[in-house]
Amino acid sequence: MIFSQKYKDRWMKYFFLTVATASVSILVMITLFLFMEGIPIFQKLSVMDFLFGEYWYPTAEPPDFGIFPLIAGSLAVTFLSAMISIPLGVLTAIYLAEIASYQFREIVKPVVELLASLPSVVIGFFGMVIVAPFLQEVFDVATGLNLFNAALMLAFMSVPTICSISEDAIYSVPVSLKEASLALGATSLDTIVRVTIPASISGISTAVILGMSRAIGETMVVLMVAGGAAMMPGSIFDPVRPLPASIAAEMAEAPYRGDHYYALFAIGIVLFAFTFMFNIVADYVSNRYRQVGEATL
Amino acid sequence: MKKMSKPLILAAVLIFCAGFGTAWAGNIVIKGSTTVLPIAQKTAEAYMKENPDISISISGGGSGNGIKAIIDGTTDIADSSRFIKDKEVQLATTKGQYPVPFAVAYDCIVPVVHPSNTITDLTMDQLKAIYKGEIKNWNQVGGPDRPIVVISRDTSSGTYEVWEEKVMKNERVYPGALLQASNGAVAQAVAKNKNAVGYIGIGYMNDDVKPVSVGGVVGSSETTLNGTFPISRPLFMFTNNWPTGDIAKFINYVMHPEKGQKLVKDAGFVPLY
């Protein structure tokens, strides 16, 4: 019996070890594959020419594999969507955690989170069919499929992430901190701005970065509403082509293991580097500015 | 690990044998152009349904690769969206091969605008200038004073290939052109934007967009077949020597007005008859 108990323990340990390492090993394998399929393009052109080349004509003779307009498109869309989603998400979170009544919070929070469960193709279709003609009419621009439309749609998608995580962070600020502030005669607004937000800033920053990392990797929405012009955006109503849109539009028909195919995987590497960076920063921020105990503020 | 390898090898051998097994029982290999791919797929599916003992395997890879495969003898049928080049014919004859072309369908690409646009006709030069970004307003081609929004396809699509070859004469579409990933998406985008111009395969034409004639010629099955519509091209299947047996039967099926050619039309192309 002692043996069987011992073995049972050991087997359980191995079983859980396998399960825990499965996702890690899958990630490692996908990354490996990504690099194996992407690196060969750099035999044809230098990394600098790839990253900072101005023209993306992968099927022309001779082809141009410059992804700078694509990177610019991705960054512009992500930045603009963050400008919309950060105030929306964080202010909603503050309201829900600090001001709203318990009942209201219990209704609104799940609804906001439900927004995250909308399939991206639905949001993309909404942007294409409803928002694009609207923008075109109201702002009198040439096309409604542009940077602003894409940023707006991506903001819809990252608001739930930002709101939900920041709300948790704000809500978990110890009550004694707030009580101390109020007892000193500070108003509610002062307490929120000077005490609650600084105390939960690490959680809020993590939320913002995760929301942005979702926006930069999102494919379907930008493919449908960003317009897809591979040029440097001059205004927020210019069409752009973010990195994922290029991969999604062209991968299906790129000749297997041709230069175009390798170049698309190399774009994947760049995209991976971006999201990886975002996650590292999120991790760092959440550890660096973590509120430990109640006395450190 | 060592114990595992034996069954693995056995399995691999079995799969290999199975692969050759089907090769004996009437197997046709088709390779080549991604433009012709939907035609090959639809006809092959229907053909295999009628003849369960034949198995047809299809892969893309582009016209060049398909013709290369027929010269190397690694495929039975090569799909191609262009005619064979002189160089390729020479290479084939030195290898003792004799590629035979069969035109199986025509590709016809029609420029489209928003129904509210007063433009009804554009010349090839005007289309080229629009897609090069030189003409930026509809009033430069006799239309209303509105900016032109140029909608193009992803560069790896067969539709883009025709456009690049026939309209752009292999010059580049300017980077400001919007990109859509399918014929349907182009039609949708043009239907939603009164400034837009796009191009779609004739099979995707609908009432929400307005076709524009090119140099006075309206794009249709008739003008494509009599060669007057400029943005069109024949699509080929090449066989090695005159086909016999299963391959001949399949080619006949594709050319059949009631069978293969109906599927050609379903796939959005212009049938031969």
Establish if B180 touches chain A: CB-CB under 8 angstroms: yes
CA distances to A97, A157, A288, B26, B221 from A170, in Å = 6, 21, 17, 69, 66
Tell me which amino acid residue B131 is: Y
Residues B131 and B45 in one domain: no
Phi, psi (deg, nearest 5) at residue A229: -85, 125
Count Cβ neighbours within 10 Å for each residue of B232-270 and write b for 16 or more, e otherwise.
bbbbbbbbbeebeebbeebbebbbeeebbbebbeebbbb
Q: Is B13 a member of any domain? A: yes
pLDDT value at A85 more than 80:
yes
pLDDT at A58: 86
Of A55, A229, A253, the CB nearest to B178: A229
pLDDT at A76: 94
Residue B172 is given by DSSP the state P
Task: Give A293's pLDDT tier (boundaries 50, 70, 90).
Answer: low
Residues A30 and A133 in one domain: no
pLDDT at B20: 44
Of B257, B264, B259, the C-alpha closest to B203 is B264
pLDDT at B19: 43
Query: For the residues B242-246, what does the mean pLDDT come to?
Result: 88
Please report the ipTM that was assigned to this predicted complex.
0.75
Phi, psi (deg, nearest 5) at residue A212: -70, -35
Residues B71 and B126 in one domain: no
Answer yes or no: do B179 and A230 touch at CB < 8 A.
yes
Residues B152 and B207 in one domain: yes
Query: For the residues A208-235, what does the mean pLDDT come to?
Result: 89
More confident residue, A6 or A290: A6
Residues A136 and A165 in one domain: yes
Collapsed DSSP state (helix, strand, coil) of residue B229: coil
Residues A37 and A122 in one domain: no
User: A291-296: which pairs have CB atoms within 8 A and are 24 or more residues apart?
Assistant: A291/A173, A291/A199, A291/A200, A291/A202, A294/A174, A294/A176, A294/A177
Residues A96 and A39 in one domain: no
For residue B48 the two structure tokens come to: 């295999």
Name the average pLDDT for chain B. Answer: 84
Query: For the residues A61-75, what does the mean pLDDT come to?
Result: 90
Establish if A241 touches chain B: CB-CB under 8 angstroms: yes
Answer yes or no: do B192 and A128 touch at CB < 8 A.
yes
Residues A101 and A30 in one domain: no
Residues B201 and B221 in one domain: yes
For residue B11 the two structure tokens come to: 């399995």
| Distance from the B52 Cα atom to the nearest Cα atom in chain A, whole angstroms | 29
A3 C-beta neighbours (distance < 10 Å), count: 7
Answer yes or no: do B175 and A69 touch at CB < 8 A.
yes
- Sort out which chain A residues have CB atoms less than 8 A from B171's CB and list them: none
The rounded distance, in Å, linking the Cα atoms of B28 and B247 is: 7
| Distance from the B176 Cα atom to the nearest Cα atom in chain A, whole angstroms | 5
Q: Is B272 a member of any domain? A: no
pLDDT at B197: 94
Task: Give A184's pLDDT tier (boundaries 50, 70, 90).
Answer: very high
pTM of the full structure: 0.76
Q: Cβ distance A148 to A227 under 8 Å? A: no
Q: What CATH number does residue B167 fall under? A: 3.40.190.10
Residues A73 and A30 in one domain: no
Residues B154 and B208 in one domain: yes
Helix (H) or strand (E) holding B236: strand B232-240
Residues A68 and A21 in one domain: no
Q: Is B175 a member of any domain? A: yes
Q: Cβ distance B215 to B230 under 8 Å? A: yes
Which range of residues forms the domain containing residue A214? 47-296
End-to-end Cα spacing for chain B: 61
Helix ranges (H only) for B25-123 are 37-50, 63-72, 86-94
pLDDT value at B14 more than 70:
no
pLDDT at A59: 79
Count up the domains in chain A and report the number.
2
pLDDT at A30: 93
Nearest chain B residue (CA) to A238: B176
Count Cβ neighbours within 10 Å for each residue of B184-199 and write b for 16 or more, e otherwise.
ebbbbbbbbbbbbbbb
Phi-psi region of B133 (alpha: psi -120 to 50; beta: other; left: phi over 0): left
Count up the domains in chain B and report the number.
2
pLDDT at B33: 81
Identity of the highest mean pLDDT range in A73-82, A241-250, A254-263? A73-82
Residues B165 and B213 in one domain: yes
Residues B23 and B111 in one domain: no
Collapsed DSSP state (helix, strand, coil) of residue B193: coil
Establish if A229 touches chain B: CB-CB under 8 angstroms: yes
The rounded distance, in Å, linking the Cα atoms of A97 and A91 is: 10
pLDDT at A273: 93
Residues A292 and A246 in one domain: yes
Task: Give A94's pLDDT tier (boundaries 50, 70, 90).
Answer: very high
- Sort out which chain B residues have CB atoms less than 8 A from A228's CB and list them: 178-180
Of A33, A66, A31, the C-alpha closest to A47 is A66
- Strand-pair category, B149-153 with B178-180: parallel
Of B172, B175, B196, the CB nearest to A231: B175
Q: Which residues contact B191 (CB under 8 A, 6 or more apart)?
A: B114, B115, B206, B208, B209
Residues B112 and B101 in one domain: no
CA angle, B104 then B106 then B110, to 5°: 160
Residues B86 and B12 in one domain: yes
pLDDT value at B25 more than 60:
no
Residues A33 and A51 in one domain: no
Beta bridge partners of B179: B152
Which range of residues forms the domain containing residue B95? 6-106+233-266
pLDDT at B16: 46
For residue B105 the two structure tokens come to: 């369908």
Collapsed DSSP state (helix, strand, coil) of residue B76: coil
Residues A33 and A99 in one domain: no
Q: What CATH number does residue A138 fall under? A: 1.10.3720.10
Answer yes or no: do B149 and A228 touch at CB < 8 A.
no
Query: For the residues A238-242, what does the mean pLDDT come to?
Result: 92
pLDDT value at B114 more than 50:
yes
Residues A20 and A140 in one domain: no
Residues A250 and A267 in one domain: yes
pLDDT tens column, A109-163: 889 888 888 888 999 999 988 999 899 889 888 888 899 999 999 999 999 999 9
pLDDT tens column, A260-275: 889 999 999 999 999 9
pLDDT at B211: 92
Residues B113 and B96 in one domain: no
Task: Give B250's pLDDT tier (boundaries 50, 70, 90).
Answer: very high
Query: For the residues A57-84, what does the mean pLDDT come to?
Result: 90
Count Cβ neighbours within 10 Å for each residue of A87-113 and write b for 16 or more, e otherwise.
ebbbebbbbbbbebeeeebeeebeebe
Task: Give A3's pLDDT tier (boundaries 50, 70, 90).
Answer: low
pLDDT at B1: 36
- Sort out which chain A residues have CB atoms less than 8 A from B176's CB and list them: 229, 231, 238-239
